[in-house]
Every structure is written in structure tokens, then in C-alpha cells.
Structure 1
Amino acid sequence: MTSASYTAPPGVKRLQQRALVVGVVFTILFAVGLVLDRAQFFHSYLLAFAFWGGISIGSLALLMLQHLTGGGWGLVIRRVLEAATRTLPLVLILFVPIVVGAHWIYRWTDAAEIAKHPTLTEKAKYLNLPFFTIRAAIYFAIWLLLAFFLNRWSKLQDETANREFTKRMRVLSGPGMVLFVFTVTFASIDWFMSLDPEWSSTIFGFLFVGAWSLSALAFVIAVMAMLSKTEPMNKVVAQLHFHDLGKLLLALVMLWSYFAFSQFLIIWSGNLPEEIRWYLPRTRGGWGAVALAVVILHFALPFLFLLSRSLKRNASKLAIVAILILVMRLFDYLWMIAPAYTGEHFHLSWMDFVGPIGIGGLWLAAFAGALSKRALIPINDPLYETVLEQRHAHAGH
């Protein structure tokens, strides 16, 4: 078998074309909101960025994880993960409007607001736009460098069959995971926790480490379910691989739930005014209903479904659970972001839907384009033969 044997099917190119059309149309429609209601536009834009940017950033974590752990499950999804990480330059571009529109997004950019609250004055050395921008540049520089080397070495391994690149990718992934946790922790504090600058949580950063990794895995499973229906991936991907991915999905659902519940339990039991202020508007009225929906549809149902061995081995059923989790990830971001502006008043804007669709179309077009440029399986990886053996062993099961 050669790399040409694993060329992306025509469906990937069709996805790119359709996603681009949808992305352009809905982004233009979304841009109308910039004129009609500038503040709401940037609030909805942050929501869209959290969702799609999180998939790119979370894919980097999964890419490094599979280099560290090995296993057939990691090999079959590697090219999907690499394609997702190659959208990081687009995510960097998408971050620019957040800096430009920071005045409409973050209270700490308003001098009058700072003067009214002593807490904001104390935090001004950290929460100021120049330093905010510098920190973001550092985060993206680290993510882009990690993605660049992991993608480059993977490509060189394909071209040269030099297995030394496998070792390089594994060696880089160790410290890379440490850097990932630190950068995502601080990025989530800067971009999302600072929406309510008088509130803080030591678990918040870890919550996003879990959330973005979970988003990425759910997306990868949905893509793999699509690819495994046709050649060439149906000759490689086995039920065993989906079973492994399903187990990892269950683990990440539990990890995210653990962080989310731990944060809530600690703050609820402490019952301090400066801490419960974040949860009060998010647990009342319409936002309380959203919170309940997230608990049921993001944790309870996926948890119960993923306990089933047969479901995890069924690509289509596993993909349905993954898509459910993806949809609820968007609502979870909405639940975290929107009440910072609306308070207890439940409000949904048409831009909360148009924005993620428009940005998502552009992101999916970039992803599909990246996916179609390389073979879907790294055939010169040492695990390639193992994956084929796993496929043949489980053929017909």
C-alpha cells in the first residue's frame, strides 16, 4: 500500500465546498449584526470562537496524547487531528476581532468601570488590553509551533519512511502536554473567566482543558464515522478502534463533569458572596433550564449510553452521541458567556445561532481542505501493520 491508496474520498472535497458556501453566506449575515447591535455581535462572536477554536486547540492535546500513548486508535485518527490543528492559523485570525472588539466584550477595558470597582483597580496590571494581547500572542505561538513540528515530522515520516520521526513526535509531546495545560488554563482565564473580572475559580482553567479536549474528540468521532463508511478508511478502521474512542469519550465526559461539579460544589459549600455571584444568574430562570439541559444531555445521557459496549463499537450510534455532546458543548459555552451580559434575564439573539454557523462553515472548509491534502493514514508509522492486523482480526465481528 502507498500513501496514494489512502487519498481522501470525494466527500471531503464536497464538504469543503458546501461548508465554504454556508460559511460565507452566514458570515455575511452575521456581519449585518455588527451594524444592528455591535455589543451583541461581539458577545455572539466570542461564543462562536469558543466553540470552533476549542476544537482546533483541543485537537492539539489529543494529537500529543496519541503520540505519547501509541495504539491503533491514535493512528487511525491522527490525520483528522493533524488537519484540525492546521486550522490554528485561521483560529489566530479569528481571534483578532476579539482584540478589536474587546471594549464591547470585557468590562475591564472600561476606565469608568475600573474606577467604580476597587477589585478591578487591583487587577488592572494583569487585565489590560496590551498585556492581554501579548499573552494571547504567546499562547498562539506555543500552539502553532507544536502543531507545526508535529505536522511537519509526520509528513516527513510519510515521505522518507524514517521512523526516527516517531520518536521526535513522542519526545516533543511530553513537554508539549505540560505547555498545553498551562496555556489553555491561562487562555480560559483571560478570554472567558475575565468576563466577570471580580470572580475567580482555580478550577476554571482545568474545566476548559477538559471541555476543549472533549469537543475535539467528539468532532473526530463524527468525522471518523463518516470516513469509515467508504474507501479507503473502511479497509483500515475496525470496531475495536471505535470502541477505544468511545471509552476515551466516556473518560473525557467524566473528567469534564468532575471539574464542573467540583467547581460548583466548592463554591456552593463555601457560600461566599464574591464566589456565588457567578452561579446565581446561571441557575435561575431560563439560564437554570439551560444548566439542567446541560447536566442531562451533556453528562447523564452520554454517560449512560457510553456504558454500552455494543454502542461504542457501532460507529453510527457512537457518532450520534458525539454529535449530541458537540451540540451541548455550544450550549454550555452559551451558558457560561451570555449571563455575563444579560444577568438573570434569559435572552437569546439570532446572532447566537448565525455566528457559530458562519464561523463554523469557514472553519469546516479550512479543515476539509487540510484533510484532503494528505493521505488519511500514515503508512510509514510503526503502528501501521498493527492497525491492519486489528482490522483483519475484527473483520466480520
Structure 2
Amino acid sequence: MVHHLSGGAWGMAGRRIWEAGTRTLPLMALLFLPIAFNLDTLYAWARPEAADDHILHLKAAYLNAPFFYLRAVLFFAIWGGLAYLLNKWSREQDEQPAQLIGPQDRRFRLLSAPGLVIFVLSITLMSVDWVMSVDPHWYSTIFGVLMIGGQGLATMAFTLVVLAALVKHEPMSRVALPGVVHDLSKLMLAFTMLWAYFAVSQLLIVWSANLPEEIPFYLERLQGPWQSISIAILLLEFTAPFLLLLWRDLKRKPHVVRRVAILVLVMRVVDITWTIGPVFRHHGSTLHWLDFAVVLAIGLPWLAVFWRSLAGRPLVPARDPYFKEAMAHVR
């Protein structure tokens, strides 16, 4: 949706990758079912004893199972509706006989403007529901945008990894030019800085306020066994990618920037584990091999569906009326 509003050659290379990613939503809805059926195992607010907790009692109007399920259905409906329309119109665009600008092309922008706002709001609420509420006594008003920044960072990293795998294959080789890879790498650098800004802002706000319901989140993660993970996140998710992506030549080489992107993706998994893990680890342990086993158990089926979906459509939106104009600026 950002590309439909802004245009540019960078989106022409990544558009079909992102569309294929949205077509995995049915699988993600299926994978959400174990969470839905085990709320009381994952979320303290869903257990009967939560009624005796004063703070959870005050939050019960929002944190309750029926409302949680309703919001989850609404999230998937919003994402599915946006994905369906964008993919449907993109397929229709591929089938049109010529690159002509018409009402069928303007509808991308007409949907993307309000759709982007709705999407950001839904991701913010999803982050509160599915991630932040695993520790229902803790809260952060910046947590939603922090997760959005992390999602954008992971998206750019994954896009560059896929482009590097396809860069030697037609027709992607005619689109994934050094200038396009450079633009996508700059976006990954921008999201790296944006994510870091939100992360530091949250830390400073919580640390300076020093409130008893907020500060334990960082005390538990910046001391003891999780401290080494915190240092790794600082060095490998921000410092190393930030410094490497400052080099212009590196950003123009897909097989080189791919290594940075893979590092970012791995550290995003570690970061999410760092955010959620301490709630369930009460005996001083940090990362466990099962954490990575779960990632593989979810990630491998997702990748299989993604690659199959990507192969089922043209890799390049060559019928987009802005395609030639956009690519002319990077040749």
C-alpha cells in the first residue's frame, strides 16, 4: 500500500513478493488456532484466578476471552479483505492488454490511503493483544509502533533475501537492478533506525518514570541471564546493520546485502523471543532449542506456501502503467 501511494522502481521489484506474502494469510489463520484454544496457558488474564487480581480486574473489560476472539476475527478480516482486493486488482492488471492508466489503476491508491491507516491501527491493537498482554501487568503506549517498526524492518530484510535468490532469473534480473537494490537497502536502513528510535524511546520513558508496574520489564531483561541477549540485540540487530548499510557500494550488491538481511531476520526472531520469553522462563534460562524449533515448524510451511504462491503469478508487474516510467529512473 505504501508503494501504491508513493510509486517508485523499488516497489516494482518487491510488489509480487509482498503480494505473495499476503496470500499466506489463510495458513496464518490456521496457525493461530493453537493460541485461540490455549488462552489460559499463554495469558494470565484468561485464567480464573485473574478475577482476584485488582489490576487484571480493572483491565477485564478489554482483556477477556470473547472480546479477544472478536478482535482476532476482525484483524484477520481486515488483513484478508485488503489482501484480497489488492491481489485481485493486481491479477486483473496483468490480464489487461496494454499499459493504460485508468480507473482500475487509481483504485489501488483509493484503497491504500485509508487501508494503510486501518492496517497500522490493526497491527497496533494486535501487538497489544497477542504480544504485550502475555504480561498483563505491564504496558507501554509506544509498544504498538515499536512492533510496526520491527515488522517493516523484517519485511525489507525478507524482500532483499528473496530478491537475491531471484536476481539471476528472468524477468526479475531486468528489474532487480543495482539502483533498485540500493533503494530497498536504504529502506532497510531507515527501518533499522526507526525501530531503534522506538526501542530507545520506550526504554527512556519507562526507565525515567521508574513506575513499579513498568520497570520490571527492563530489570528482568537487562540483568541476569537475559542481559547477554540484550547486548546481542543491540550489537547485531542495530549496530552492525546500521554501520554496514552506511556503505553505498554494499547496498547495491544483492548477494552482499543479503547477508545483512539474513542477520536482521535472525535477530528479529531473537528480539521477539526476548520480549515474550521472560514471562514463561522463571528459572533463569533464556533461549532454548525449542524456540528455534518452533520457528522452523512455523516458518518452513509458511515458506512452502509463499514460494508456491510467488511462482503462481508473474514475478514483475509489467502491465502496471507506471512500470516503464519507474524503471527508467534506475537504468
Same fold, TM-score > 0.5, yes or no: yes
Distance, in Å, in 2 between the alignment partners of 1:255 and 1:166 is 31
Asked whether the 8 Å contact 1:242–1:315 carries over to 2, the reply is: yes
Q: Which residue identity does 1:78 align to in structure 2?
A: R
1:123 maps onto 2:62 in alignment: no
Asked whether the 8 Å contact 2:225–2:285 carries over to 1, the reply is: yes
Asked whether the 8 Å contact 2:171–2:316 carries over to 1, the reply is: no
**Structure having greater relative contact order (Cα 8 Å, sep ≥ 6):** 1
1:157 maps onto 2:93 in alignment: yes
TM-aligned CA deviation for residue 347 of structure 1:
3.4
- The 5-angstrom pairing of residues 106-117 of structure 1 reads 106-115=43-52, 117=53
Equivalent residue number for residue 280 of structure 2? 341
TM-aligned CA deviation for residue 384 of structure 1:
2.0
Root-mean-square deviation (Å): 1.3
Equivalent residue number for residue 15 of structure 2? 78
Equivalent residue number for residue 229 of structure 1? 168
TM-aligned CA deviation for residue 348 of structure 1:
3.2
Asked whether the 8 Å contact 1:243–1:313 carries over to 2, the reply is: yes
1:199 maps onto 2:135 in alignment: no
TM-aligned CA deviation for residue 274 of structure 1:
1.2
TM-aligned CA deviation for residue 342 of structure 1:
1.5
| Structure 1 residues 230-280: Cα deviation after superposition (integer angstroms, max 9, x where no partner) | 222112321000010011111100111011100001111111111101111
TM-aligned CA deviation for residue 344 of structure 1:
7.0
Q: Which residue identity does 1:71 align to in structure 2?
A: G
1:167 maps onto 2:106 in alignment: yes
Q: State the percentage of identical aligned residues.
A: 47
Distance, in Å, in 2 between the alignment partners of 1:348 and 1:244 is 34
1:286 maps onto 2:222 in alignment: no
Asked whether the 8 Å contact 2:146–2:198 carries over to 1, the reply is: yes
Equivalent residue number for residue 307 of structure 2? 368
Distance, in Å, in 1 between the alignment partners of 2:326 and 2:118 is 30
Equivalent residue number for residue 138 of structure 1? 74
Structure 1 stretches lacking a partner, 5+ long: 1-63
TM-aligned CA deviation for residue 289 of structure 1:
0.7
1:267 counterpart (188, 206, 222) = 206
Asked whether the 8 Å contact 2:79–2:119 carries over to 1, the reply is: yes
TM-aligned CA deviation for residue 111 of structure 1:
1.2
Structure 2 counterpart SS, 1:91: helix
1:326 maps onto 2:326 in alignment: no
Equivalent residue number for residue 147 of structure 2? 208
* Deviates further, 224-233 or 99-108: 224-233
Structure 1 counterpart SS, 2:56: helix
1:87 counterpart (4, 12, 24) = 24
1:247 maps onto 2:155 in alignment: no
TM-aligned CA deviation for residue 388 of structure 1:
4.7
Asked whether the 8 Å contact 2:160–2:184 carries over to 1, the reply is: yes
Q: Which residue identity does 1:75 align to in structure 2?
A: M
Distance 1:279 1:155, change over 3 A: same
* Deviates further, 146-155 or 280-289: 280-289
Distance, in Å, in 2 between the alignment partners of 1:318 and 1:141 is 35
